[in-house]
Amino acid sequence: MIGTPILPEIRELIEQRNFSALQRLFDDWLPVDLAELISDLPENEQAILFRLLTKEAATETFEYLDFDAQQNLLNALTQKDVTHILNSMSADDRTALLEELPGPVAQELIKLLSFKEFKIAKTLLAYAEDSVGRLMSPDFLSVKKDWEIGKVLEYIRTHGHESETLNVIYAVDDHGKLVGEMLARDLLLSPLDKKVEEIIDEDKLITLTATQDQKDALEAFKRYDRVALPVVDSNGYLIGVVTVDDMLDVAEEEETEDIQKFGGIEALDEPYIDVPLLQLVRNRAVWLVVLFLGEMLTASAMAYFEDELAKAIVLATFIPLIISSGGNSGSQAATLIIRSLALGEITVRDWWAVMKREILSGLMLGSLLGLIGVFRVVFWATLLGHYTVMWLLLGITVGLSLLGIVLWGTLAGSMLPLLLKRLGIDPATSSAPFVATLVDVTGIVIYFSFASLLLKGVLL
């Protein structure tokens, strides 16, 4: 078991320039751990350590390096080393690197590729970002469907070294069209004289297309529990393969996007700490301004009730408490419904079932906060020694407003994502701040309506 690299020991060996000891040590390390170590080193030491690796380990380690370290090494290594790495790294990782690099640099590097790899790189880069094409590897193994398993095994032994995965082998017909897949399991368990076509099941083949969204691929992997899925062109010819290890990364990216949206930010393309400051501010400003403009309505609503306010300043003191409770319960409801929609646990058609649940939840939560609210107002007044019927009525106003606002927040928070989904808009757009803003404005109206009703002639 390899743990996190122990830097002090490594540091010492580097200071001593004891490269043979380092080399021996690195022999037992996994590429991902080597990559983490090298990424953590100062730039001028990265190349020194990287050169200690064997050719094979170097390519694999390079694939795991973070982008900054990759860029640094591309500058620091000899053209010969760079050429070797670029030609031997897997096509999908190379695509990811080339798309990150500035255009001219990428163009220079592509020139170092062999004719075969050059064609592959150009093809993959032509697919849209976030499309399946950017994840796929053209290094797969396909066999004819009339071969016997024995022949397939022999073929793999001689031609399989380049293949991205050997967990799945693809079967094609005489025209090269994909007709089925065999798992390593099938190959290892079948008698040697069985034919490929006896093993594959053409009807049960699941395929992707290169232009599909990576999200779709993730769904397919989740649904069908595969370790690899084939990518076909519009004529059904096999053009690449996507492996499940890339899917955990896609899942992570999707999650980040969802979470950022829900926090009320335009999703960032890069890690938080790497995004240029101005872009970071821009991605936040969009929603912040929209919400601010929406929230301006609270000022208008309050201006409308200025007379009531003037008569009873004490009313104003409870406004933040009341409207924030609506916002909080609305955020909760929106969170639950957005996530439930995303997981397919509910659909828009379930709106009535959801509404019933949320009305009941809202009533219970609202009553709870309402009671605490009444208690707060009455207890406070009693404590300060100026308890009167007016305070009781104020307490009831606050309590009923809380009930109404929490109920309304819960309903708005739960129905808004369903409505957005129905209109074809991403339900995650109804972020916590968005729902809170919506509920704030109506909350003020609800509060002052109860106040007018209950406190007329007493306070107002």
**Complex with a copy of itself: residue 55 or 161, whichever CB lies closer:** 161
CA distances to 375, 377, 388, 424 from 384, rounded to whole Å, are 14, 11, 11, 54
Percentage helix, strand, coil for the chain under 3-state DSSP, each rounded to 5 = 70, 5, 25
**Complex with a copy of itself: residue 75 or 211, whichever CB lies closer:** 211
Site for a copy of itself in 417-456 (CB under 8 A): 432-433, 436-437, 440, 444
Tokens of 252: 């992570």
Q: Is 161 in the site for a copy of itself (CB under 8 A)?
A: yes
Q: Which of 7, 296, 425, 453 is close enough to bind a copy of itself by CB under 8 A?
A: 296
Q: Is 80 in the site for a copy of itself (CB under 8 A)?
A: no
Q: What is the x/- site pattern for a copy of itself, positions 305-344, by CB under 8 A?
A: -x--xx--xx-xxxxxx-xxx-xxx-xx-xxxxxxx--x-
Query: For residues 222 and 209, what is the distance between their CA atoms, to the nearest angstrom?
Result: 17
Give me the residue label for tokens 């406070």.
Answer: 380
Give me the residue label for tokens 């109404």.
Answer: 404
Query: For residues 164 and 433, what is the distance between their CA atoms, to the nearest angstrom?
Result: 44
CA distances to 4, 72, 329 from 42, rounded to whole Å, are 18, 10, 48
Site for a copy of itself in 1-60 (CB under 8 A): 1-2, 28-30, 32
Closest distance between a copy of itself and the C-beta of residue 313, in Å? Answer: 5
**Complex with a copy of itself: residue 101 or 275, whichever CB lies closer:** 275
Closest distance between a copy of itself and the C-beta of residue 156, in Å? Answer: 5
Q: Is 269 in the site for a copy of itself (CB under 8 A)?
A: no
Closest distance between a copy of itself and the C-beta of residue 125, in Å? Answer: 23
Closest distance between a copy of itself and the C-beta of residue 105, in Å? Answer: 23
Q: Which of 46, 131, 165, 212 is close enough to bind a copy of itself by CB under 8 A?
A: 165
Q: Is 153 in the site for a copy of itself (CB under 8 A)?
A: yes
How many residues make contact with a copy of itself (CB under 8 A)?
A: 121
Cβ neighbours, 10 Å, residue 136: 28
Site for a copy of itself in 372-411 (CB under 8 A): 372-373, 376, 406
Q: Is 140 in the site for a copy of itself (CB under 8 A)?
A: no
Q: What residues contact residue 388 under an 8 Å CB cut-off, 6+ apart? A: 381
DSSP, residue by residue, 60-91: HHHHHS-HHHHHHHHHHS-HHHHHHHHHHS-H
**Complex with a copy of itself: residue 128 or 364, whichever CB lies closer:** 364
Stretch that binds a copy of itself, among 97-105, 118-126, 132-140, 279-287 (CB under 8 A): 279-287
Closest distance between a copy of itself and the C-beta of residue 282, in Å? Answer: 9
Tokens of 121: 């790189």
**Complex with a copy of itself: residue 41 or 47, whichever CB lies closer:** 41
32 SS3 class: helix
Burial of 155 (0-12, 13-18, 19+ CB in 10 A): middle
Q: Is 193 in the site for a copy of itself (CB under 8 A)?
A: no
Closest distance between a copy of itself and the C-beta of residue 259, in Å? Answer: 5
Q: What residues contact residue 407 under an 8 Å CB cut-off, 6+ apart? A: 359, 362, 363, 366
Closest distance between a copy of itself and the C-beta of residue 408, in Å? Answer: 14
**Complex with a copy of itself: residue 108 or 252, whichever CB lies closer:** 252
**Complex with a copy of itself: residue 47 or 411, whichever CB lies closer:** 411
Nearest CA-CA partner of 208 in 224, 187, 197: 224
Query: For residues 334 and 413, what is the distance between their CA atoms, to the nearest angstrom?
Result: 4
Q: Which of 185, 386, 422, 456 is close enough to bind a copy of itself by CB under 8 A?
A: 185
Q: Kindly report the length of the chain.
A: 460
Q: What is the x/- site pattern for a copy of itself, positions 205-234, by CB under 8 A?
A: xxx----------x--xxxxxxx-------
Give me the residue label for tokens 């080193």.
Answer: 41
Tokens of 161: 């070294």
Q: Is 252 in the site for a copy of itself (CB under 8 A)?
A: yes
Closest distance between a copy of itself and the C-beta of residue 84, in Å? Answer: 22
